[in-house]
Each structure stands twice: as structure tokens, then as C-alpha cells.
Structure 1
Amino acid sequence: MAFSSGGDSGGPMAEINVTPLVDVMLVLLIIFMVTAPLMSHKVQVTLPQEALKEKPDSQGIPITLAVTESGDLYWNDDPIILSVLESRLAVEAQKQPQPQVNIRADKTTKYRTIANVVKTAKDVGIAKVGFVTTPER
């Protein structure tokens, strides 16, 4: 609220100082004028339309492969060896829809062991291989 510096009444002024309002509005106008051309896409692309009659309900139950620090493998918490793992993954790769393979590994597991499991899954035709982690707290 503004006060008069010299006048007969000595009370508060009833007029609003609009200079700060005009300054803010001019800054906003300049910002919008600069950013508006950036909002349009310069390259026009015709996006494909959906070709599926029905969307698949799910991708099946995911397979969880656990790899311990010592290199032991577990298929959904059941112990498994690498040669049997390869044949079971080949069977799963033939299914439609193909299940996703999630790999859980100890923090101290050697990367070579994990890379061998991922390579085995990719070699037999598994399309989706993911890694399971715990979120930071």
C-alpha cells in the first residue's frame, strides 16, 4: 500500500501502482514470443494407424532367472544348470506371446556370468530380457 509523501489529508493513497504489473506482463510476453515458435514441429510425419483388431491381454507370466554370487542359476527359484537353461529358454522362445525373462543377480556377481545368461537367452530367441533391481531408499 502506498502512502502519500505530501498532501493535505496525510492518509493512504487510493491509487494502485501498476508499473510492477506491466513489467511482469512484458517479461511474460517476451518469453511466450520466444518459445512459441519452438512448440511447433518442423518435420511433418504421418504416424501409422493401429493395425491390431484386439490388443493382447498380457505377455504371459515372466520368467525370473536368479544368479547368485557363486554362479548358481535358479529358474523361478528352482535350481537349474546352464545347459538345461538353454533348452528351457528355447522352448519358451517358441511360445506366443513370448514371456519376458527377468534376471536377478547379486550385487557382487561377476559380470561374465550375467553376460553368459543374457547371451544364452538372446541366442535362443528371447526378445525381452530385463534386469530386476531394488529402488534406492
Structure 2
Amino acid sequence: MAMTVTDHDNDELMSEINMIPLIDVMLVLLIVFIITIPVIKHAVQVNLPQANAERSTPPPQAVRLSVQADGRYLWNDEPIDDAQLDERLQTIAAQDVQPPLHLLGDRDVRYERVAQVLAKAQQAGVKGIGFVTEPTR
């Protein structure tokens, strides 16, 4: 390391920056970073499960059951009577993957008819029942 020798007889101010402490700090930081880099590179080994590439079956299409204002039932827009309703609900309940039953009650229908559909669906064993509403205009 080089040093400059100055004449101390002068009362002039030194205008040079002492670089030695700065270089010492830089070398210490360099050594610290060199030591910590291999520690950062260590990874944790994780055993992940293997995924199966099986095709999933699409969900069945929902059944739309409408209760008209006069009490008639529409099964996917097809008119049916009470006996046919019982048969179709039991057919749905017997399936492995049940299609959801979307129930749409007319605004002017008696609640008794809607409650009858709910009771029949419960007795048949239908698990997924949803109520369809129409927005107010």
C-alpha cells in the first residue's frame, strides 16, 4: 500500500480522502458475500406425488323443472304430470352422478306446488336442487 509523505510544517489542510478504510470495508463485504453464496444455493428436496392423466367425465346436464302458474310441471320445457315427475325424479336419484335439478317456480304459482316438488325430490333421493330466479324488470 502506498503512502504519501507530506511535510507537516505546512499548516495547510489535507484535501485527500483516506481510501484505506473504504478498501478494507469493501474487502470484508466481498469475503462475506463469497461465503454466503454457496449457502443460498442449497435447495430443499420435496417428493411430489405423480399426477394421473385420466380424462374426467363431464358433469351431467342440469334438469330444468318449471312449475307454471296453473300448477303444471315442465321438465326441460316438456309438460309432465305428477306420476311422470315421480318416475323421473327416481331415475335421477338412481344415477351414480346425479344431474343438478334446477327448480323454477312461476311468480303466481301457489307455494304448495313448489313444496310438493321439493318433498318428492327429497323422497326420491335427489341431492342437488337449485332455485332459479329471474331478475326483476
Q: TM-score surpassing 0.5?
A: yes
CA contact (8 A) 1:73 1:80 kept: yes
Distance of 1:105 and 1:55 partners within structure 2:
37
Distance of 1:90 and 1:56 partners within structure 2:
25
The answer to whether residue 62 in structure 2 is matched with residue 62 in structure 1 is yes
CA contact (8 A) 1:59 1:100 kept: no
Of all paired residues, the percent bearing the same amino acid is 32
In the alignment, what sits opposite 2:117? 117
In the alignment, what sits opposite 2:89? 89
1:81 to partner: Cα distance = 0.5
Q: Where in structure 1 are there 5+ consecutive unaligned residues?
A: 1-52
TM-score w.r.t. structure 2 length? 0.56
In the alignment, what sits opposite 2:128? 128
Which string of whole-angstrom CA distances, capped at 9 and with x for unpartnered residues, describes residues 54-89 of structure 1? 795543111010111110001100000011110111
**How many residue pairs were aligned?**
85
Runs of 4+ with >4 A deviation: 53-57
In the alignment, what sits opposite 2:38? none
Residues 110 and 56 of structure 1: CA distance in aligned 2, closer, same or farther (over 3 Å): farther
Instruction: Give the partner amino acid of 1:81.
Output: D
In the alignment, what sits opposite 2:99? 99
Instruction: Give the partner amino acid of 2:105.
Output: A
TM-score w.r.t. structure 1 length? 0.56
Distance of 2:123 and 2:55 partners within structure 1:
28
Distance of 1:57 and 1:135 partners within structure 2:
32
Distance of 1:56 and 1:93 partners within structure 2:
21
